[in-house]
Amino acid sequence: MFCVKCGNEIPERSVFCPICGKELEADQKACPYCEEQLQTSAPSILTKNSETGNTSLSAVDYVKRGDAYCTKGDYDRAIRDYNKAIQLDPSYAIAYGNYGVVYYTKGDYDRAIRDYNKAIRLDPSYARAYKNRGDAYDTKGDYDRAIADYNEAVQLAPSYAIAYNNRGVAYYKKGIYDRAIQDCSKAIWLDPSYARAYGNRGVVYYNKGDYDWAIADYNEAIRLDPNNAIAYKNRGDAYYNKGDCERAMADYNEAIQLDPNNAIAYKFRGDAYYNKGDYDSAIADYNEAIQLDPNNAIAYKNRGVVYYNKGDYDSAIADYNEAIRLDPSYAIAYNLRGIAYYNKGDYDRAMADYNKAIRLDPSYAIAYNLRGIAYYNKGDYDSAIADYNEAIRLDPNNAIVYGNRGVAYYNKGDYDSAIADYNEAIQLDPNNANVYGNRGVAYYNKGDYDSAIADYNEAIRLDPNNANVYGNRSVVDYKKGKIMSGLSKIWKRLFNWPQISNSPKTS
């Protein structure tokens, strides 16, 4: 048996690949680790033309030289050499397979698949061609065909760790996380030094919300490959989602140091700075991410959120505009732009953006709530209530929406419905001082002064600096005949109740 890449004989008693040094089974036709094909007859490095006496390259030699050109990135020369090999030996499956690799690397996946098809027809036992064709299908988003090819590859080469890993990635993309974990684990069992398989399994655990297991896998991936910028970035994401911004920041720093052109790492570090309240550093990172990847709609959207939180609504709107230009179906960007317009007092534009967000994503509960607020501020309480109803149907545990619907009912004079909504809001969020204050106003207007005072007391306990509640409580004291108590507090009454939760979060 001989290795195509180096031409060296592998004695039958040997069970190691001459390229990567991994142990093999004696009857294997491909190394499952470095993916090199093995053949059972010795390649002729040079052949001599009997008529002219000239020495010429064999088909195997052209493939080897094509491989060298491919490794250097000189794909055109690689293609010419593979062509020459095929001319010399039209049944040379490996030449077609390598031809496919070049076209895959050049991004011509359909042409790559055609070449892999030819290689497989010539050699149905060519495991690497199945694996490579699976990669092409995976890149095209045809995960079922990719999995079918990976199945064939591992059936032909049961120790093919890369094929198991890649099949796991395809299952992950289909959302079949448990099968993905099984395949990545199998790849790791076959090759305990396979850093990429640890990294991929970490990604699956991360998407399952199991951040500790994800971090453990990223740790191992980094131990095996200390220069793996992606693993640092991904571990940073896991720490970020655990609320450990400091460790997340350290990992993003390391990822950026290893790969200064990693736009995604800058974007995620910007997110971490934003959550620490360091808006200027966040903007600087988003600037860098956008410079490296001007088509990153998320980076524009996130920078817009930071500008919004700095009170710079015009800059926020400009960034949302760009995010929408890059991704016209970006419902979140429309919703956020609507919030910015709302805070500028431009309710019509806000309404238009909320409408667009809802058309793009009819299950977007937050957009219904925000549009309800816009209707409320236009005095259209019935439309506001209709939107709050839909928001509650989509998200029954959102205390803010119950509170907002209660305010709309209150303004329609339906105090009982308002109180019912405030009750639900308090049950979902017992620490919302505004809702206690609003319910107190509703009780007051029903003449239930004791219940009103009880709610005002709770609102003050939760928010001792809320002047409105002190003022409202003093009015009730006055109504109950506690004139001096009421007069001593009446000066604290600065605004009119009720209050509506009309400053939505932008996260």
Provide DSSP, 445-491.
HTT-HHHHHHHHHHHHHH-TT-HHHHHHHHHHHHHTT-HHHHHHHHT
Q: For residues 407-434, give the mean pLDDT.
A: 95
What Cα–Cα distance (Å) separates residue 95 from each residue in 40, 83, 164, 342, 490? 16, 8, 24, 63, 90
Least confident of 145-154, 217-226, 240-249, 306-315: 240-249
What digits encode the pLDDT tens for the residues 189-248? Answer: 999 999 999 999 999 999 999 999 999 999 999 999 999 999 999 999 999 999 999 999
pLDDT value for 490: 46
> In a 10 Å sphere around its CB, with 0-12 CB exposed, 13-18 middle and 19+ buried, how is residue 496 labelled?
exposed
| Measured distance CA(471)–CA(230) in Å, rounded | 57
pLDDT value for 476: 82
What digits encode the pLDDT tens for the residues 447-504? Answer: 999 999 999 899 999 999 888 888 888 888 777 765 445 444 544 444 444 544 433 3
Rounded to 10 deg, the angle between the 399-411 and 415-428 helix axes is 170
Query: Which of 257, 256, 259, 258 minimizes the C-alpha distance to 270?
Result: 256
Angle at 241 between CA 240 and CA 242, to 5 degrees: 90
Domain with CATH 1.25.40.10 in the chain: 409-507
pLDDT value for 352: 96
What digits encode the pLDDT tens for the residues 10-20? Answer: 444 334 443 34
N-to-C CA span, the chain: 61
What Cα–Cα distance (Å) separates residue 286 from each residue in 139, 274, 291? 28, 10, 8
Q: For residues 239-266, give the mean pLDDT.
A: 95
pLDDT value for 469: 82
Three-class SS state of 349:
helix
pLDDT value for 475: 83
Q: Higher confidence at residue 376 or residue 26? A: 376
The residue type of 342 is: Y
The first and second tokens of residue 198, run together, are 């640890």
- CATH 1.25.40.10, applies to 409-507: yes
| Measured distance CA(429)–CA(82) in Å, rounded | 68
pLDDT value for 107: 93
Least confident of 26-30, 119-123, 374-378: 26-30
pLDDT value for 467: 83
Query: Which of 159, 104, 167, 97 minimizes the C-alpha distance to 128?
Result: 97
What digits encode the pLDDT tens for the residues 87-124? Answer: 999 999 999 999 899 999 999 999 999 999 999 999 99
Residues in the chain: 507
| Measured distance CA(357)–CA(370) in Å, rounded | 11
Confidence of residue 287 (pLDDT cuts 50, 70, 90): very high
Q: Higher confidence at residue 287 or residue 502? A: 287
> Which residues make Cβ contacts (< 8 Å) with residue 72, sequence separation at least 6?
none
| Average pLDDT value for the chain | 86
pLDDT at 347 over 50: yes
Confidence of residue 362 (pLDDT cuts 50, 70, 90): very high
Long-range contacts of 150-154 (CB under 8 A, 24+ apart): 152/127, 153/127, 153/128, 154/127
What's phi and psi for 46, nearest 5 deg? -135, 140
Confidence of residue 272 (pLDDT cuts 50, 70, 90): very high
Confidence of residue 29 (pLDDT cuts 50, 70, 90): low
pTM value is 0.73
pLDDT value for 54: 42
pLDDT value for 118: 96
Confidence of residue 294 (pLDDT cuts 50, 70, 90): very high
pLDDT value for 407: 96
8 Å CB contact between 482 and 415: no
Q: For residues 328-344, give the mean pLDDT.
A: 96
Alpha carbons within 13 angstroms on the beta-carbon side of residue 138 total 22
Q: For residues 371-392, give the mean pLDDT.
A: 95
pLDDT at 377 over 50: yes
The residue type of 166 is: N
Q: Tokens 């250097």 identify what position?
A: 72
The residue type of 45 is: I
> Which residues make Cβ contacts (< 8 Å) with residue 250, sequence separation at least 6?
236
pLDDT at 505 over 70: no
pLDDT at 159 over 70: yes
Give the chain's radius of gyration (CA, Å): 33
Range with top average pLDDT, 81-90, 133-142, 459-468 = 133-142
